[in-house]
Amino acid sequence: MNKKIKNICCLGAGYVGGPTMAVIAFKCSHIIVNVVDTNQQRVDAWNANDLNKLPIFEPGLDKIIAETRNKNLFFSTKIEKNISNADIIFISVNTPTKTKGLGAGKASDLKWIELCARQVAKFAIGHTIVIEKSTLPVRTAEVIKQILNESQSKYSVDKEKKTFDILSNPEFLAEGSAIQDLLNPDRVLIGGDNKKAIDSLSEIYENWIVKEKILHTNLWSSELAKLTANAFLAQRISSINTISVLCEKTGANVKQVSKAIGLDHRIGNKFLDAGPGFGGSCFQKDLLNLVYLSESLGLNEVAEYWNQVIEINNWQRKRISKLIIEKLFGTVGGKKIGILGFSFKANTNDTRESSAIQISRDLLEEGAFLIIHDPKVNIKDIEYYLGPNQKRDMQIDSETKGYGCWSFTDNLEKIYQDSDALVVITEWSKYSQIKWDIASKNMRRPGWVFDTRGIINIDEVKKNGLKIWVVGNGEL
Ligand code: NAD
Ligand code: UGA
């Protein structure tokens, strides 16, 4: 008989841990779900009475939290107690790219994973199933296994021998559609070598997902499949972005090309939107992981192949910054440029690796005065990437330092006043509804619109006397 799960603990209340556990609690009212984190502030935000203050914005998340929180879903910093009580533990902590030491710039930093494994080893009681939910380099389960197994001799009290099973259960949700992705996933992947443990985890998902969608593989296939899925998705974006510039140079239109190729069911129509380059915390990190793995195995051609996906992404961002500067007569010093959108995609407040960061930095470097708008991003996150929010006089600033400055507004109309250009970086739906007559009246001339997402009504912009450049379409 496989173990019946009554109590879950999830280490990490982030973009994955929070929504994933909320959906499990929502669909499994018979299971107690404890989400724990070392970050007290984040836990407090998850417990906020005002659901607009949850630490992450995801459509539909607030309703699920309202249904489950403090019934069978709990957020806290009580790590030891909740590890001890758990039948199953999800590890869902951050695994960013290493910034120093061996493998810096490529390998994932596994210090948080290792710490979790050590905490589980110390505080778990009896038999515990440990799940890798974080995205991890292939064969990380081996490391976790070793730490847990070594702990048996150190921490087990004679009669109460600790035992563990380790499974890989990577998450495929995308931010902005996380709740829908969790409620109705294309597949759930479970990698492991112990059938009873696999069945215990499958049973949780079977509360709302048909068995046919729950795939069982060995541990290493599961770990590698997660990296491969992200690499393939990122590769499609870099591919279409290379085509976007060919379109701009030849008079083709990238939307028409995407449609024409996407109707071929072997290619499919998803992930064919040209843009300012992919952002988000995972695509680049997971590609780098694949590059590092290939290099460590001496497979330099394979490493170079995947590295090129990242190179093209960086190139797309740079070419957009360069193009903006060129169109504004080769200088943006002291010019006011509106940045529309700072999150890495619409419907999320996440700014990690957003293309807005690089493009903004390039324009600041050239002395521009940026006024940034985003419906959900917190100004502190922008400060983290661009330095302090400077409300100085742009004239003085550009004269004294030559380096630009930025400010933030949540009032879209403020962004138009005296702007030389507006740059659409995130595809928030409100940007496709901009009233171009109002914007145009307030902008300086010649006023430019740079649409890196292809969401703006071109005719309306032109009708109101502004110039427009659209990714994969060029100057129109
Ligand atoms: P995140 O940074 O939003 O959240 C991680 C949380 O873990 C943080 O709140 C941190 O304080 C906490 N933490 C760190 N060490 C801890 C410990 N020892 N005990 C308890 N809590 C601890 O990260 P995320 O975006 O949720 O990503 C988590 C993992 O999931 C990563 O490996 C990522 O690659 C993967 N992933 C992310 C997404 C996504 O859309 N963000 C999707 C699929 C997979
Ligand atoms: C991505 C994957 O889609 C998820 O399956 C995966 O679980 C997750 O990474 C992860 O492992 O973290 P996410 O990064 O949240 O999800 O968002 P995506 O929708 O994949 O978008 C990533 C980036 O690509 C965004 O900047 C987006 O604007 C860009 N993109 C996406 C394009 O430029 N064009 C497209 O056609 C699609």
Interval 370-390: pLDDT, tens: 999 999 999 999 999 999 876
Burial state string for 398-408 with b = 16 or more CB within 10 A and e = fewer than 16 = beeeeebbbbb
Domains and CATH numbers, the chain: 7-217 (3.40.50.720), 312-470 (3.40.50.720)
Does ligand 1 lie within 6 Å of residue 11's CB atom?
Answer: yes
Residue 355's pLDDT band (boundaries 50, 70, 90)?
A: very high
Model confidence at 162: pLDDT above 60:
yes
How far is residue 56's CA from residue 176's CA, in Å, rounded to a whole number?
10
Instruction: Report the chain's mean pLDDT, rounded to a whole number.
Output: 94
Reported as a single tens digit per residue, the pLDDT across 34-53 is 999 999 999 999 999 999 99
User: How many A from CA of 112 to the centre of ligand 2?
Assistant: 24
Per-residue pLDDT tens digits for 277-303:
999 999 999 999 999 999 999 999 999
Strand, coil or helix: 359: helix
Please name the residue whose Cα sits nearest to atom 1 of ligand 1. Answer: 14
Task: Give the tokens for residue 105.
Answer: 């710039």
Instruction: Supply the pLDDT for residue 391.
Output: 57
Which residue among 162, 226, 255, 335 is the active-site one? 226
DSSP state of 208: T
Q: The tokens of 108 are what? A: 């994932």
**Token code pair at residue 299:** 């497979």
Residue 170: its pLDDT value, please? 97
Is the pLDDT confidence value at 447 over 70? yes
Going by pLDDT thresholds of 50, 70 and 90, the confidence category of residue 421 is: very high
Nearest CA to ligand 2 atom 14: 280
Measured from the CB, is residue 58 less than 6 Å from ligand 2? no
* Residue % of the chain over a pLDDT of 90: 88
Which residue has its alpha carbon closest to ligand 2 atom 36?
271
Q: Which of 162, 148, 227 has its CA nearest to residue 191?
A: 227
Q: Is 19 in the pocket of ligand 1 (CB under 6 A)?
A: no
The per-residue pLDDT for 114 is: 93
- Give the per-residue pLDDT at 3: 75
- More confident of the two residues 392 and 14: 14
What is the tens place of the pLDDT at every residue in 334-343? 999 999 999 9
Distance 233 CA to ligand 2 centre (A): 7
* Cβ 214 under 6 angstroms from ligand 1: no
pLDDT at 212: 97
Residue keyed to tokens 């930093």? 109
Tell me which residue of 467, 455, 425, 475 sits closest to 317, measured CA to CA.
425
| Tokens representing residue 375 in the block | 């419906």
In short, whether 116's Cβ falls inside 6 Å of ligand 1 is: yes
| 18 CA: nearest ligand 1 atom | 26
**Residue 394 token pair:** 């742009």
Query: Which contiguous run of DSSP H or E holds residue 38?
Result: none
CB of 344 closer than 6 A to ligand 2? yes
Ligand 2 pocket member 185 (CB < 6 A): no
Q: Ligand 1: distance of its center to the CA of 13 in Å?
A: 7
Rounded average pLDDT over 46-61 = 96
Which range is least confidently modeled, 46-55, 144-153, 318-327? 144-153
Per the residue annotation, which of 171, 175, 223, 427 is the catalytic one? Answer: 171
Q: Active site residue: 133, 282, 336, 427, which one?
A: 282
Rounded (10°) CA dihedral 230, 236, 242, 244:
-120
The reply to whether 226 belongs to the active site is yes
Ligand 2, residue 271: give the atom nearest the CA: 36
Distance CA 296, CA 274 (A): 32
Residue 98 in this model has a pLDDT that exceeds 80: yes
Closest ligand 1 atom, residue 42 Cα? 9
d(CA 296, CA 61): 40
Helices (H) and strands (E) in the chain, counts: 17, 15
Question: Is any atom of ligand 1 closer than 6 Å to the C-beta of 233?
Answer: no
The residue whose CB lies within 8 Å of the most ligand 2 atoms, and thus the one to mutate among 95, 136, 175, 312, is 175
The contacts of residue 6 (CB under 8 Å, 6+ apart) are: 30, 31, 32, 87
The predicted-structure confidence for 69-85, as pLDDT tens digits, reads as follows 999 999 999 999 999 99
Percentage with pLDDT > 70 across the chain: 95
**To which H or E segment does residue 37 belong?**
none
pTM, two decimal places: 0.95
Is residue 90 exposed (0-12), middle (13-18) or buried (19+ Cβ within 10 Å)? buried
